[in-house]
Structure 1
Amino acid sequence: MSNSKPNYVYKLVPSSSPVPLDISKLPARLPVSSLDQESGFIHLSTSVQVPNTLKWFFAEDNSVFVLRLPYDSLEEEKIIRWEDPKAEVCGPRGGEGMFPHLYNGFKLGGDEVDSIKLLEQVDGTWDKTIENVIEAGWLVY
């Protein structure tokens, strides 16, 4: 992956979480996962990282909400950092093994998210689902 700036970053949320698909009904602050609370930030992925995040962390889930966040405003507010998954090593934007992490007091809701998709596995894998959202132009770097 290049060091170019992404247009969007993505938050994957288990479908058991209370996320409305209607963006106008998205609250100002969604509940925070225990992983995010323990880490001290909200874990995000780039479009290139979403397929492996789905396969590694959501393999047992039949469906997952994916929230799309425009990147520019997060960068302008200086609330996003590029780090390894444990936030131990900072690196260049989009570098190998670097993930976008949101540091804004766990605020993730209507002000940060511009679109939501409920993705569902097809034939027990995420492959076809990922292909479909890429082809539709929703999952973009």
Structure 2
Amino acid sequence: MSDSKPNYVYKLVPSSSPVSLDISEIPANLPVSSLDQESGFIHLSTSLQIANTLKWFFAQDNSVFVLRLPYDKLEEEKLIRWEDPKAEACGPRGGEGMFPHLYNGLKLGRDEVDLVKVLTQIDGTWDKSIENAINDGWLEY
């Protein structure tokens, strides 16, 4: 992990999942992915890792929900661990370093999430959508 801590970490969720864009409608516990269930923790990404997470895990999706989690609260509660990715799960990911993982009994919902947005592929890639999210100010690089 770099010396500077992020303001936010992000959970990417398929658009087929039952997630509301209205934060007041987010339940206390959203369903978690089978990968998260098998791992025993919730896989997260920093803003800089989102592009490759989309590439490796969401290449076939047209759109995804992006759940934004304020980092400081999770760190204060000692719920985040920075760990290297398992190469056998997604292939080589050179230069990405350590990933944030949420260890809180697989709980992800309104207490952890402060914003939900949608990213949609534009012209077959995620690049423009990520750029737009950065320019709109909700995805911090």
TM-score, normalised relative to structure 1: 0.90
Residue equivalent to 1:89: none
Letter in 2 for 1:134: I
How far, CA to CA, are the matches of 1:56 and 1:114 in structure 2? 25
Letter in 1 for 2:60: E
Alpha-carbon RMSD across the aligned residues, in angstroms, is 1.3
TM-score, normalised relative to structure 2: 0.90
CA displacement at 1:104 relative to structure 2: 0.2
Gap regions ≥5 residues in structure 1: 87-94
Letter in 1 for 2:77: E
How far, CA to CA, are the matches of 1:2 and 1:136 in structure 2? 25
CA displacement at 1:96 relative to structure 2: 4.5
Work out the number of aligned pairs and report it. Answer: 133
Deviations along 1:29-80, one digit per CA (max 9) or x if unpaired, are 0001000001110000000001111112111000000000000000000010
Q: Which has the higher helix share?
A: 2
Letter in 2 for 1:37: Q
Comparing 66-75 with 49-58, which one deviates more in the overlay?
A: 49-58
How far, CA to CA, are the matches of 1:98 and 1:14 in structure 2? 23
Query: Within 5 A, what are the aligned runs for 1:6-45?
Result: 6-45=6-45
CA displacement at 1:3 relative to structure 2: 2.2
Residue equivalent to 1:128: 128
How far, CA to CA, are the matches of 1:112 and 1:77 in structure 2? 11
Deviations along 1:74-118, one digit per CA (max 9) or x if unpaired, are 0000010000124xxxxxxxx942000000001100000000001
Q: Does 1:52 align with 2:52?
A: yes
Gap regions ≥5 residues in structure 2: 87-94
Provide the identity percentage: 83
